[in-house]
Chain A
Amino acid sequence: MVTVRLKPVEEIVKSLKPYRKVFVIGCQLGSGRCKNGGLREAFKVAGYLELHGFKISGVKSPGGTCILERLDSSDRSLIKEAESSSDAILSLACGAGTQLIAENVSIPVVTGVNTLFIGVERERKYFDEYCIACGECVISETGGICPVARCPKSLVNGPCGGAIAGKCEVDPSIPCIWYRIENRLRELCSLETLKKRVPLKDYRASVYPRRLVLED
Protein backbone atom coordinates (compact mmCIF):
# COMPACT_ATOMS: atom_id res chain seq x y z
CA MET A 1 0.00 0.00 0.00
CA VAL A 2 1.00 3.63 -0.38
CA THR A 3 1.74 5.20 2.99
CA VAL A 4 1.28 8.85 3.86
CA ARG A 5 1.94 11.10 6.82
CA LEU A 6 -0.43 13.85 7.84
CA LYS A 7 1.15 17.29 7.50
CA PRO A 8 1.24 19.42 10.64
CA VAL A 9 -2.20 21.00 11.01
CA GLU A 10 -0.67 24.48 11.15
CA GLU A 11 0.73 23.87 7.69
CA ILE A 12 -2.68 22.70 6.44
CA VAL A 13 -4.35 25.79 7.90
CA LYS A 14 -1.79 27.98 6.21
CA SER A 15 -2.32 26.49 2.77
CA LEU A 16 -6.11 26.81 3.15
CA LYS A 17 -5.90 30.42 4.27
CA PRO A 18 -7.39 31.99 1.10
CA TYR A 19 -10.54 29.83 1.33
CA ARG A 20 -13.59 29.72 3.56
CA LYS A 21 -15.67 26.66 2.68
CA VAL A 22 -13.60 23.48 2.66
CA PHE A 23 -14.58 19.90 1.75
CA VAL A 24 -12.32 17.28 3.35
CA ILE A 25 -11.70 14.01 1.52
CA GLY A 26 -9.99 11.10 3.24
CA CYS A 27 -8.91 7.84 1.66
CA GLN A 28 -9.67 4.47 3.20
CA LEU A 29 -6.97 2.57 1.32
CA GLY A 30 -3.38 3.53 2.12
CA SER A 31 -4.04 6.74 4.03
CA GLY A 32 -6.71 5.07 6.17
CA ARG A 33 -4.62 1.96 6.90
CA CYS A 34 -1.70 3.98 8.13
CA LYS A 35 -4.00 6.18 10.21
CA ASN A 36 -2.76 9.38 8.68
CA GLY A 37 -5.44 10.28 6.18
CA GLY A 38 -8.47 8.05 6.55
CA LEU A 39 -11.97 9.20 7.48
CA ARG A 40 -11.09 9.45 11.18
CA GLU A 41 -8.22 11.80 10.49
CA ALA A 42 -10.37 13.68 7.98
CA PHE A 43 -12.94 14.35 10.72
CA LYS A 44 -10.23 15.35 13.15
CA VAL A 45 -8.67 17.80 10.74
CA ALA A 46 -12.13 19.14 9.85
CA GLY A 47 -12.79 19.82 13.54
CA TYR A 48 -9.54 21.67 13.83
CA LEU A 49 -10.27 23.69 10.73
CA GLU A 50 -13.66 24.67 12.15
CA LEU A 51 -11.91 25.95 15.26
CA HIS A 52 -9.82 28.09 12.95
CA GLY A 53 -12.86 29.69 11.35
CA PHE A 54 -13.29 27.53 8.26
CA LYS A 55 -16.68 26.29 7.22
CA ILE A 56 -16.67 22.56 6.57
CA SER A 57 -18.97 21.67 3.71
CA GLY A 58 -18.45 17.93 4.03
CA VAL A 59 -16.13 15.12 5.15
CA LYS A 60 -16.13 11.97 3.05
CA SER A 61 -14.07 9.14 1.66
CA PRO A 62 -14.65 7.45 -1.68
CA GLY A 63 -12.81 4.32 -0.46
CA GLY A 64 -10.05 4.22 -3.02
CA THR A 65 -9.36 7.81 -4.05
CA CYS A 66 -7.07 6.87 -6.93
CA ILE A 67 -9.93 5.17 -8.81
CA LEU A 68 -11.88 7.62 -10.94
CA GLU A 69 -15.15 5.61 -10.82
CA ARG A 70 -15.12 5.88 -7.04
CA LEU A 71 -14.81 9.65 -7.17
CA ASP A 72 -17.20 10.24 -9.98
CA SER A 73 -19.86 7.91 -11.32
CA SER A 74 -23.22 8.55 -12.92
CA ASP A 75 -25.27 7.72 -9.80
CA ARG A 76 -22.98 9.22 -7.17
CA SER A 77 -20.31 11.84 -7.65
CA LEU A 78 -18.27 12.74 -4.60
CA ILE A 79 -16.21 15.32 -6.41
CA LYS A 80 -19.27 17.10 -7.88
CA GLU A 81 -20.73 17.30 -4.39
CA ALA A 82 -17.46 18.68 -3.04
CA GLU A 83 -16.96 21.07 -5.91
CA SER A 84 -20.44 22.57 -5.79
CA SER A 85 -20.46 23.13 -2.05
CA SER A 86 -16.95 24.49 -1.41
CA ASP A 87 -14.21 26.99 -2.18
CA ALA A 88 -11.50 24.35 -1.90
CA ILE A 89 -10.97 20.65 -1.30
CA LEU A 90 -8.56 19.28 1.27
CA SER A 91 -7.45 15.79 0.30
CA LEU A 92 -5.75 13.35 2.62
CA ALA A 93 -5.31 10.77 -0.12
CA CYS A 94 -1.84 9.99 -1.46
CA GLY A 95 -0.33 12.13 -4.19
CA ALA A 96 -1.99 10.02 -6.87
CA GLY A 97 -5.50 10.21 -5.41
CA THR A 98 -5.19 13.92 -4.72
CA GLN A 99 -4.09 14.63 -8.29
CA LEU A 100 -6.96 12.61 -9.67
CA ILE A 101 -9.37 14.75 -7.64
CA ALA A 102 -7.61 17.94 -8.73
CA GLU A 103 -7.77 17.16 -12.44
CA ASN A 104 -11.51 16.55 -12.25
CA VAL A 105 -12.70 19.64 -10.40
CA SER A 106 -12.40 23.34 -11.14
CA ILE A 107 -11.79 24.49 -7.56
CA PRO A 108 -8.37 24.38 -5.81
CA VAL A 109 -7.30 21.11 -4.19
CA VAL A 110 -4.89 21.22 -1.26
CA THR A 111 -3.08 18.20 0.09
CA GLY A 112 -2.97 17.53 3.81
CA VAL A 113 -0.43 14.72 3.65
CA ASN A 114 3.10 13.92 2.56
CA THR A 115 3.11 10.76 0.49
CA LEU A 116 5.85 8.45 1.68
CA PHE A 117 6.35 5.02 0.15
CA ILE A 118 5.04 1.66 -1.01
CA GLY A 119 5.17 -0.49 2.06
CA VAL A 120 3.71 -3.19 4.22
CA GLU A 121 1.85 -3.00 7.50
CA ARG A 122 2.34 -5.10 10.62
CA GLU A 123 0.42 -5.10 13.88
CA ARG A 124 -1.42 -2.00 12.64
CA LYS A 125 1.61 -0.09 13.80
CA TYR A 126 4.71 -0.67 11.75
CA PHE A 127 5.02 0.37 8.13
CA ASP A 128 8.13 -0.56 6.22
CA GLU A 129 9.16 0.40 2.72
CA TYR A 130 9.41 -2.75 0.62
CA CYS A 131 9.40 -1.63 -2.99
CA ILE A 132 10.48 1.44 -4.94
CA ALA A 133 8.77 0.21 -8.11
CA CYS A 134 12.05 -0.11 -9.99
CA GLY A 135 10.25 -1.80 -12.86
CA GLU A 136 12.70 -4.70 -13.15
CA CYS A 137 11.96 -6.98 -10.26
CA VAL A 138 14.84 -9.07 -8.93
CA ILE A 139 13.29 -10.68 -5.88
CA SER A 140 12.92 -14.13 -7.41
CA GLU A 141 16.71 -14.30 -7.15
CA THR A 142 16.96 -12.89 -3.65
CA GLY A 143 14.62 -15.04 -1.67
CA GLY A 144 11.64 -12.75 -2.17
CA ILE A 145 13.43 -9.95 -0.28
CA CYS A 146 14.15 -6.74 -2.15
CA PRO A 147 17.69 -5.32 -1.98
CA VAL A 148 16.77 -2.50 -4.34
CA ALA A 149 14.29 -0.91 -1.94
CA ARG A 150 15.53 -2.29 1.37
CA CYS A 151 19.25 -1.57 1.01
CA PRO A 152 19.76 2.21 1.02
CA LYS A 153 22.45 1.79 -1.65
CA SER A 154 20.24 -0.56 -3.73
CA LEU A 155 23.13 -3.02 -3.96
CA VAL A 156 22.33 -6.05 -6.06
CA ASN A 157 25.64 -7.94 -5.97
CA GLY A 158 25.84 -8.41 -2.23
CA PRO A 159 26.34 -6.32 0.90
CA CYS A 160 28.63 -3.31 1.27
CA GLY A 161 31.58 -3.15 3.63
CA GLY A 162 29.48 -1.27 6.15
CA ALA A 163 27.28 -4.27 6.92
CA ILE A 164 28.38 -5.08 10.46
CA ALA A 165 26.81 -7.55 12.86
CA GLY A 166 23.57 -7.63 10.94
CA LYS A 167 23.06 -3.89 11.06
CA CYS A 168 22.96 -1.42 8.21
CA GLU A 169 25.74 1.14 7.91
CA VAL A 170 23.27 3.84 7.00
CA ASP A 171 20.99 3.32 9.99
CA PRO A 172 22.08 0.78 12.60
CA SER A 173 18.51 0.54 13.87
CA ILE A 174 17.55 -1.33 10.70
CA PRO A 175 18.93 -4.68 9.59
CA CYS A 176 21.29 -5.01 6.67
CA ILE A 177 18.89 -6.67 4.30
CA TRP A 178 21.62 -8.93 2.96
CA TYR A 179 21.67 -10.87 6.23
CA ARG A 180 17.98 -11.60 5.73
CA ILE A 181 18.57 -12.54 2.13
CA GLU A 182 21.34 -14.93 3.08
CA ASN A 183 19.27 -16.58 5.82
CA ARG A 184 16.32 -16.98 3.54
CA LEU A 185 18.35 -18.44 0.71
CA ARG A 186 20.04 -20.81 3.14
CA GLU A 187 16.63 -22.07 4.19
CA LEU A 188 15.71 -22.52 0.57
CA CYS A 189 19.10 -24.12 -0.18
CA SER A 190 19.57 -21.75 -3.07
CA LEU A 191 22.49 -19.53 -2.13
CA GLU A 192 23.84 -20.53 -5.53
CA THR A 193 21.58 -18.00 -7.20
CA LEU A 194 23.70 -15.17 -5.76
CA LYS A 195 26.91 -16.41 -7.32
CA LYS A 196 26.48 -14.86 -10.71
CA ARG A 197 27.29 -11.21 -11.23
CA VAL A 198 24.18 -9.10 -11.53
CA PRO A 199 24.42 -6.78 -14.52
CA LEU A 200 23.69 -3.07 -14.35
CA LYS A 201 20.04 -2.23 -13.92
CA ASP A 202 18.11 -0.90 -16.88
CA TYR A 203 16.77 2.27 -15.35
CA ARG A 204 14.59 2.93 -18.37
CA ALA A 205 12.11 0.69 -16.61
CA SER A 206 11.79 3.28 -13.86
CA VAL A 207 11.80 6.49 -15.86
CA TYR A 208 8.66 8.29 -14.82
CA PRO A 209 5.96 9.01 -15.65
CA ARG A 210 5.16 5.42 -16.52
CA ARG A 211 1.98 4.00 -17.96
CA LEU A 212 0.34 0.61 -17.83
CA VAL A 213 -2.25 -0.16 -20.49
CA LEU A 214 -4.47 -3.19 -20.19
CA GLU A 215 -5.40 -5.07 -23.34
CA ASP A 216 -9.11 -5.26 -24.12
Chain B
Amino acid sequence: MEFREKLESGQFLITVEVAPPRGVSWEETISALKPLKGKVDAFNVTDCQRSMVRMSALSMAKLLLDSGYEPILQLTCRDRNRIALQSDLLGAWTLGIRNLCLMTGDFTTLGDQPDAKPVFDVDSVQLIEIAEKLNSGRLLNGKELNGKTSFLIGAVHNPFAGPEFLQTLKLKKKIEAGARFVQTQPVYELKIAEEVHSLISSLGAVPLIGLLPIKSLKMANFMKRLNPTSIPPSLIDGLERAKDPVLYGWEYTLDLARAVSEFGAGVHFMLVGKVRELADFIDELRNNRREGP
Protein backbone atom coordinates (compact mmCIF):
# COMPACT_ATOMS: atom_id res chain seq x y z
CA MET B 1 0.00 0.00 0.00
CA GLU B 2 1.29 3.45 -0.80
CA PHE B 3 1.78 6.17 1.77
CA ARG B 4 -1.22 8.08 0.50
CA GLU B 5 -3.54 5.09 0.83
CA LYS B 6 -2.30 4.38 4.33
CA LEU B 7 -2.86 8.00 5.25
CA GLU B 8 -6.31 8.03 3.74
CA SER B 9 -7.31 4.80 5.43
CA GLY B 10 -6.25 6.17 8.80
CA GLN B 11 -3.38 3.78 9.46
CA PHE B 12 -0.84 4.74 12.09
CA LEU B 13 2.04 6.22 10.07
CA ILE B 14 5.74 6.08 10.72
CA THR B 15 8.05 8.24 8.67
CA VAL B 16 11.80 8.69 8.97
CA GLU B 17 14.01 11.53 7.85
CA VAL B 18 16.84 10.85 5.42
CA ALA B 19 19.54 13.42 4.74
CA PRO B 20 21.20 13.02 1.34
CA PRO B 21 24.97 12.58 1.53
CA ARG B 22 27.43 15.43 1.42
CA GLY B 23 29.12 14.19 -1.68
CA VAL B 24 28.45 11.73 -4.43
CA SER B 25 28.49 8.34 -2.69
CA TRP B 26 24.92 7.49 -1.90
CA GLU B 27 25.01 3.72 -1.65
CA GLU B 28 25.77 3.73 2.05
CA THR B 29 22.96 6.13 2.86
CA ILE B 30 20.53 3.74 1.25
CA SER B 31 21.99 0.48 2.49
CA ALA B 32 21.90 1.86 6.05
CA LEU B 33 18.11 1.98 5.79
CA LYS B 34 17.78 -1.70 5.04
CA PRO B 35 16.45 -2.76 8.45
CA LEU B 36 13.61 -0.26 7.99
CA LYS B 37 12.48 -1.66 4.67
CA GLY B 38 8.85 -2.59 4.79
CA LYS B 39 8.50 -1.12 8.28
CA VAL B 40 8.66 2.60 7.77
CA ASP B 41 5.84 4.03 5.67
CA ALA B 42 7.81 6.76 3.95
CA PHE B 43 11.24 8.33 3.95
CA ASN B 44 11.35 12.08 4.17
CA VAL B 45 14.31 13.43 2.20
CA THR B 46 15.65 16.74 3.46
CA ASP B 47 16.48 19.63 1.15
CA CYS B 48 19.89 21.00 2.13
CA GLN B 49 18.75 21.08 5.72
CA ARG B 50 20.24 23.84 7.91
CA SER B 51 21.35 25.50 4.66
CA MET B 52 24.26 23.10 4.22
CA VAL B 53 24.95 21.81 0.74
CA ARG B 54 24.07 18.17 0.24
CA MET B 55 23.15 16.08 -2.76
CA SER B 56 19.86 17.18 -4.31
CA ALA B 57 16.84 15.88 -2.41
CA LEU B 58 15.20 15.15 -5.74
CA SER B 59 18.03 12.83 -6.78
CA MET B 60 18.06 11.17 -3.39
CA ALA B 61 14.31 10.64 -3.50
CA LYS B 62 14.65 8.96 -6.89
CA LEU B 63 17.48 6.75 -5.61
CA LEU B 64 15.29 5.72 -2.69
CA LEU B 65 12.43 4.93 -4.99
CA ASP B 66 14.66 2.80 -7.20
CA SER B 67 15.79 0.89 -4.14
CA GLY B 68 12.25 0.14 -3.06
CA TYR B 69 11.66 2.87 -0.44
CA GLU B 70 8.81 5.32 -0.76
CA PRO B 71 10.11 8.87 -0.50
CA ILE B 72 8.57 12.15 0.63
CA LEU B 73 10.41 14.96 -1.11
CA GLN B 74 11.12 18.05 0.94
CA LEU B 75 11.28 21.25 -1.05
CA THR B 76 12.13 24.63 0.43
CA CYS B 77 11.69 28.18 -0.82
CA ARG B 78 15.21 29.21 0.07
CA ASP B 79 17.03 28.30 -3.12
CA ARG B 80 14.46 28.38 -5.92
CA ASN B 81 12.14 30.88 -7.47
CA ARG B 82 8.68 29.97 -8.73
CA ILE B 83 10.06 28.86 -12.08
CA ALA B 84 12.56 26.43 -10.54
CA LEU B 85 10.01 25.19 -7.99
CA GLN B 86 7.43 24.33 -10.64
CA SER B 87 10.08 22.78 -12.82
CA ASP B 88 11.44 20.60 -9.98
CA LEU B 89 7.94 19.57 -8.98
CA LEU B 90 7.11 18.47 -12.52
CA GLY B 91 10.42 16.63 -12.69
CA ALA B 92 9.77 14.93 -9.37
CA TRP B 93 6.35 13.74 -10.48
CA THR B 94 7.75 12.41 -13.74
CA LEU B 95 10.39 10.44 -11.85
CA GLY B 96 7.69 8.79 -9.77
CA ILE B 97 7.84 10.90 -6.62
CA ARG B 98 4.34 11.17 -5.19
CA ASN B 99 4.69 12.78 -1.78
CA LEU B 100 5.88 16.27 -0.90
CA CYS B 101 6.71 18.10 2.27
CA LEU B 102 6.82 21.83 1.52
CA MET B 103 8.35 24.47 3.75
CA THR B 104 10.02 27.88 3.82
CA GLY B 105 13.45 26.53 4.75
CA ASP B 106 16.22 27.72 7.03
CA PHE B 107 17.86 31.01 6.17
CA THR B 108 21.08 30.98 4.13
CA THR B 109 23.29 32.64 6.73
CA LEU B 110 22.74 29.75 9.17
CA GLY B 111 24.53 27.23 6.99
CA ASP B 112 27.94 26.69 5.51
CA GLN B 113 27.48 29.00 2.52
CA PRO B 114 26.39 32.11 4.40
CA ASP B 115 27.44 34.32 1.50
CA ALA B 116 24.79 32.82 -0.82
CA LYS B 117 21.96 34.94 -2.19
CA PRO B 118 18.72 33.70 -0.63
CA VAL B 119 15.66 33.44 -2.88
CA PHE B 120 12.39 33.27 -0.89
CA ASP B 121 10.43 34.25 -3.99
CA VAL B 122 7.43 32.40 -2.53
CA ASP B 123 6.56 31.28 0.99
CA SER B 124 5.43 27.88 2.25
CA VAL B 125 1.73 28.67 1.90
CA GLN B 126 2.23 29.83 -1.66
CA LEU B 127 4.41 26.80 -2.47
CA ILE B 128 1.58 24.53 -1.36
CA GLU B 129 -0.75 26.52 -3.61
CA ILE B 130 1.69 26.00 -6.49
CA ALA B 131 1.75 22.21 -5.96
CA GLU B 132 -2.05 22.16 -5.78
CA LYS B 133 -2.19 24.07 -9.01
CA LEU B 134 0.01 21.46 -10.70
CA ASN B 135 -2.34 18.82 -9.27
CA SER B 136 -5.16 20.59 -11.08
CA GLY B 137 -3.22 20.34 -14.32
CA ARG B 138 -2.10 23.92 -14.53
CA LEU B 139 0.96 26.02 -14.03
CA LEU B 140 0.90 28.95 -11.67
CA ASN B 141 0.17 31.26 -14.60
CA GLY B 142 -2.88 29.20 -15.52
CA LYS B 143 -1.35 27.56 -18.59
CA GLU B 144 -2.46 23.99 -19.07
CA LEU B 145 0.01 21.15 -18.53
CA ASN B 146 0.15 18.14 -20.82
CA GLY B 147 -0.96 15.93 -17.95
CA LYS B 148 -1.51 16.63 -14.29
CA THR B 149 0.34 15.69 -11.16
CA SER B 150 -1.39 14.19 -8.17
CA PHE B 151 0.95 14.91 -5.31
CA LEU B 152 0.13 14.16 -1.72
CA ILE B 153 1.18 17.41 -0.09
CA GLY B 154 2.54 17.81 3.40
CA ALA B 155 3.70 20.77 5.47
CA VAL B 156 5.53 21.45 8.73
CA HIS B 157 4.59 23.15 11.98
CA ASN B 158 6.62 24.16 15.00
CA PRO B 159 4.48 24.06 18.16
CA PHE B 160 7.11 26.13 20.01
CA ALA B 161 7.23 29.04 17.59
CA GLY B 162 5.22 32.20 17.99
CA PRO B 163 3.27 34.33 18.00
CA GLU B 164 0.79 31.56 18.60
CA PHE B 165 -2.16 33.21 16.94
CA LEU B 166 -0.24 33.81 13.72
CA GLN B 167 1.43 30.38 13.75
CA THR B 168 -1.98 28.78 13.97
CA LEU B 169 -3.29 31.07 11.29
CA LYS B 170 -0.43 30.11 9.02
CA LEU B 171 -0.95 26.41 9.72
CA LYS B 172 -4.57 26.89 8.80
CA LYS B 173 -3.58 28.63 5.57
CA LYS B 174 -1.27 25.72 4.70
CA ILE B 175 -4.01 23.17 5.24
CA GLU B 176 -6.56 25.22 3.34
CA ALA B 177 -4.06 25.54 0.51
CA GLY B 178 -3.79 21.77 0.24
CA ALA B 179 -1.53 20.25 2.91
CA ARG B 180 -2.89 16.82 3.81
CA PHE B 181 -0.38 15.93 6.50
CA VAL B 182 1.64 18.10 8.84
CA GLN B 183 4.90 17.09 10.38
CA THR B 184 5.87 18.80 13.64
CA GLN B 185 9.19 19.90 15.04
CA PRO B 186 10.55 17.48 17.67
CA VAL B 187 8.31 17.22 20.70
CA TYR B 188 9.42 15.95 24.12
CA GLU B 189 6.23 16.05 26.16
CA LEU B 190 3.09 14.05 25.79
CA LYS B 191 0.94 17.02 26.65
CA ILE B 192 2.39 19.04 23.79
CA ALA B 193 2.11 16.10 21.41
CA GLU B 194 -1.59 15.84 22.32
CA GLU B 195 -2.19 19.55 21.91
CA VAL B 196 -0.49 19.88 18.56
CA HIS B 197 -2.12 16.66 17.38
CA SER B 198 -5.56 17.94 18.14
CA LEU B 199 -4.79 21.35 16.63
CA ILE B 200 -3.63 19.86 13.33
CA SER B 201 -6.45 17.34 13.11
CA SER B 202 -9.04 19.95 14.00
CA LEU B 203 -7.80 21.99 11.04
CA GLY B 204 -8.25 19.00 8.77
CA ALA B 205 -4.80 17.45 8.26
CA VAL B 206 -3.08 14.32 9.49
CA PRO B 207 -0.53 15.12 12.21
CA LEU B 208 2.84 13.38 12.28
CA ILE B 209 4.46 14.09 15.62
CA GLY B 210 8.16 14.86 15.21
CA LEU B 211 10.53 12.82 17.37
CA LEU B 212 14.25 13.37 17.69
CA PRO B 213 16.07 11.33 20.33
CA ILE B 214 18.38 13.44 22.46
CA LYS B 215 21.84 11.91 22.67
CA SER B 216 23.52 14.11 25.23
CA LEU B 217 23.15 17.05 27.53
CA LYS B 218 24.96 19.10 24.94
CA MET B 219 22.38 18.23 22.34
CA ALA B 220 19.58 18.98 24.81
CA ASN B 221 21.02 22.41 25.40
CA PHE B 222 21.36 22.98 21.69
CA MET B 223 17.71 22.06 21.18
CA LYS B 224 16.83 24.31 24.05
CA ARG B 225 18.56 27.19 22.35
CA LEU B 226 16.50 26.56 19.22
CA ASN B 227 13.22 26.07 21.07
CA PRO B 228 13.57 27.10 24.72
CA THR B 229 10.26 25.63 25.83
CA SER B 230 10.62 22.35 23.98
CA ILE B 231 12.85 20.47 26.43
CA PRO B 232 11.17 19.70 29.76
CA PRO B 233 13.33 19.91 32.92
CA SER B 234 12.63 16.22 33.63
CA LEU B 235 14.43 15.28 30.42
CA ILE B 236 17.46 17.36 31.40
CA ASP B 237 17.41 15.75 34.86
CA GLY B 238 17.20 12.31 33.37
CA LEU B 239 20.08 12.96 30.99
CA GLU B 240 22.20 14.28 33.85
CA ARG B 241 21.56 11.21 35.91
CA ALA B 242 21.76 8.65 33.14
CA LYS B 243 24.83 6.42 32.91
CA ASP B 244 24.20 6.09 29.21
CA PRO B 245 22.60 9.30 27.95
CA VAL B 246 22.26 7.95 24.41
CA LEU B 247 20.22 5.03 25.65
CA TYR B 248 18.23 7.26 27.97
CA GLY B 249 17.36 9.69 25.18
CA TRP B 250 16.44 6.83 22.93
CA GLU B 251 14.12 5.20 25.41
CA TYR B 252 12.59 8.52 26.30
CA THR B 253 11.68 8.97 22.64
CA LEU B 254 10.34 5.47 22.24
CA ASP B 255 8.13 5.92 25.32
CA LEU B 256 6.75 9.07 23.79
CA ALA B 257 6.21 7.30 20.45
CA ARG B 258 4.33 4.53 22.25
CA ALA B 259 2.16 7.07 24.00
CA VAL B 260 1.46 8.91 20.74
CA SER B 261 0.52 5.65 19.06
CA GLU B 262 -2.32 5.33 21.58
CA PHE B 263 -4.16 8.32 20.20
CA GLY B 264 -2.16 9.65 17.28
CA ALA B 265 -2.14 9.42 13.53
CA GLY B 266 1.58 8.98 13.20
CA VAL B 267 5.11 9.85 14.15
CA HIS B 268 8.03 11.24 12.23
CA PHE B 269 11.49 10.16 13.39
CA MET B 270 14.10 12.77 12.60
CA LEU B 271 17.05 10.48 12.79
CA VAL B 272 18.89 7.76 11.17
CA GLY B 273 21.59 5.90 13.03
CA LYS B 274 19.84 3.51 15.34
CA VAL B 275 18.00 1.91 12.45
CA ARG B 276 18.13 -1.61 13.83
CA GLU B 277 16.68 -0.56 17.16
CA LEU B 278 14.11 1.55 15.42
CA ALA B 279 13.09 -1.40 13.26
CA ASP B 280 12.64 -3.57 16.36
CA PHE B 281 10.65 -0.87 18.04
CA ILE B 282 8.37 -0.51 15.04
CA ASP B 283 7.74 -4.26 15.12
CA GLU B 284 6.87 -4.07 18.78
CA LEU B 285 4.63 -1.06 18.27
CA ARG B 286 2.77 -2.60 15.38
CA ASN B 287 2.28 -5.90 17.19
CA ASN B 288 0.96 -4.21 20.28
CA ARG B 289 -1.41 -2.13 18.24
CA ARG B 290 -2.73 -5.17 16.48
CA GLU B 291 -3.15 -7.04 19.72
CA GLY B 292 -4.55 -4.06 21.56
CA PRO B 293 -8.25 -3.55 22.30
Residues of A at under 8 Å CB distance from B? 152-166, 169-170, 176, 178-179, 181-182, 191, 194-195, 197-201, 203
Interface residue tally on B, bucketed by range: 35 or more
**CB <8 Å contact, B163 and A182:** yes
**CB <8 Å contact, A161 and B104:** yes
Bound Cα distance A155, B126 (Å): 10
Tell me which of B77, B160, B165, B177 contacts A197 (CB under 8 A). Answer: B177
Across-interface contacts of B122 in A (CB, < 8 A): 200
**CB <8 Å contact, B162 and A159:** yes
A159-B167 CB under 8 A given contacts A153-B107, A200-B82 = yes
Return the CB mask of B127-148 against A: 1 if under 8 Å, else 0: 0010000000000100000000
Bound Cα distance A159, B156 (Å): 13
**CB <8 Å contact, A161 and B158:** yes
B17 adjacent to chain A (CB < 8 Å) = no
**CB <8 Å contact, B126 and A159:** no
Q: Which residue of A lies closest to B157 (CB)?
A: A161
User: Could you give 10 example pairs across A and B, Cβ below 8 Å?
Assistant: A153-B118, A158-B167, A159-B166, A160-B124, A160-B161, A164-B162, A169-B107, A191-B165, A194-B169, A197-B173
Min Cβ gap A156→B in Å is 6
A-B contact count (CB 8 A): 95
Across-interface contacts of B10 in A (CB, < 8 A): none
B1 adjacent to chain A (CB < 8 Å) = no
**CB <8 Å contact, A179 and B106:** no
Chain A contact residues: helix, strand, loop or mixed: loop
Across-interface contacts of A178 in B (CB, < 8 A): 163, 166
A159-B170 CB under 8 A given contacts A153-B118, A153-B123 = yes
Q: Tell me the B37-89 residues at the A interface (CB within 8 Å).
A: 77, 82
Bound Cα distance A191, B227 (Å): 26
**CB <8 Å contact, A155 and B107:** no
**CB <8 Å contact, B140 and A157:** no
B284 adjacent to chain A (CB < 8 Å) = no
Q: Which residue of A lies closest to B127 (CB)?
A: A200
Tell me which of A157, A164, A170 contacts B226 (CB under 8 A). Answer: A164
**CB <8 Å contact, B163 and A179:** yes
Min Cβ gap B199→A in Å is 14
Additional pairs, 8, CB under 8 Å, beyond known A153-B107, A182-B163? A153-B104, A153-B123, A155-B123, A159-B163, A160-B124, A164-B161, A164-B162, A164-B226
Min Cβ gap B124→A in Å is 8
